[in-house]
Amino acid sequence: MTKIRIAIQKSGRLNQDSLQMLKDCGVSIDNGKDQLKASSRNFPMEVFYLRNGDIPQYLKDGVVDIAIIGENVLIEKGGDITIAEKLGFSKCKVSLAVPKSTAYNSVKDFEGKRIATSYPNTVQKYLSEKGVTADLHIINGSVEIAPNIGLADAICDIVSSGSTLFKNNLEEVEVMLKSEAVLAVSPKITQERKDLLQKLQFRIQSVLRARQSKYVLLNAPNTNLDEILTLLPGMRSPTVLPLAEEGWSSVHTVINKDKFWEVIDELKQAGAEGILVCPIEKMVL
């Protein structure tokens, strides 16, 4: 039986979020402690637990068919690897930072400077596009200490909350790219495994839509119903059902979570009552 081979990060937050995504897609993984490979009991899939930086090469070589990986790593090492889906978690930035004591005006200030980074290709491309030449020091691991020990004038690294930069007295000055977890596809994937990828991607899209939405139920006076319905989006249109109390209706719909509170405030002003909000597990279109 053909199985699709997926790589995920061996440890860390991306590992946990990737396993949760597979779980939400109904894929159960039989995974013992410290296993480097595991199988799903209910989907034709093998899971490879790999170092994040090694995953692009495994994709290029066709050792794995797909991977959940940070977009930043793919940009640095992935070359022509295709992104099938952006997954919306593990968001971060790849940024240039300098000591807080450094006077900074523009990217031109990096001309001739020493920059410590684990992302030399990304930095080189960015600076070249800006017409800037710098001396790159490639460091695998924590680069934040480099300016403090005199190894570099600046750094390029992943920035999530910014707390690590703050602790090392550094300031973010240039955001080179924004990144999130993505589903990447090997250029050597077979057609048979592409069919399995389509099935998995359908499930992933259903999960992602659900994560972005809330199911809303409310009671509306019929006299205000038309106004309330104009405020409500829906997958096709809101569902309206009569209540036992004459003159009132129950309205059901789906609201994007980013617009949720704005819509709720407008509904209350329009006379909606008894507003209930429920999470959505899956949303299949």
The highest-level CATH class for domain 213-279 is: alpha beta
CA–CA distances in Å: residue 237 to residues 15, 55, 61, 142, 243:
38, 43, 47, 51, 19
pLDDT of residue 23: 94
pLDDT at 234: 59
User: Domain coordinates of the chain in residue numbers?
Assistant: 4-88+180-210, 92-179, 213-279
Backbone angles phi, psi at 91, to 5 degrees: -80, 140
Name 130's Cβ contacts closer than 8 Å, sequence gap at least 6: 107, 108
- Could you tell me the pTM of the whole model? 0.85
Asked if residue 29 lies in contact with residue 19, where contact means CB atoms within 8 angstroms, the answer is yes
Burial class (CB in 10 A: 0-12, 13-18, 19+), 124: middle
Q: What is the structure's pLDDT at 237?
A: 79
Amino acid at 102: T
CATH no., domain 92-179: 3.40.190.10
- In tens digits, the chain (285 residues) has pLDDT values of 899 999 999 988 899 999 999 999 999 987 755 778 999 999 999 999 999 889 999 999 999 999 999 999 999 998 779 999 999 999 999 999 999 999 999 999 999 999 999 999 999 999 999 999 999 999 887 899 999 888 999 999 989 888 889 899 999 999 999 999 999 999 999 999 999 999 999 999 999 999 999 999 999 999 999 999 988 865 677 899 999 999 999 999 998 888 888 889 999 999 999 999 999 988 888
Topology alike, domains 4-88+180-210 and 92-179: yes
Picking from 264, 187, 204, 184, the residue whose alpha carbon sits closest to that of residue 228 is 264
- For domain 4-88+180-210, the CATH class is alpha beta
| Those residues with Cβ within 8 angstroms of residue 171's Cβ, 6 or more apart along the chain or in another chain | 97, 98, 99, 100, 102, 104, 165
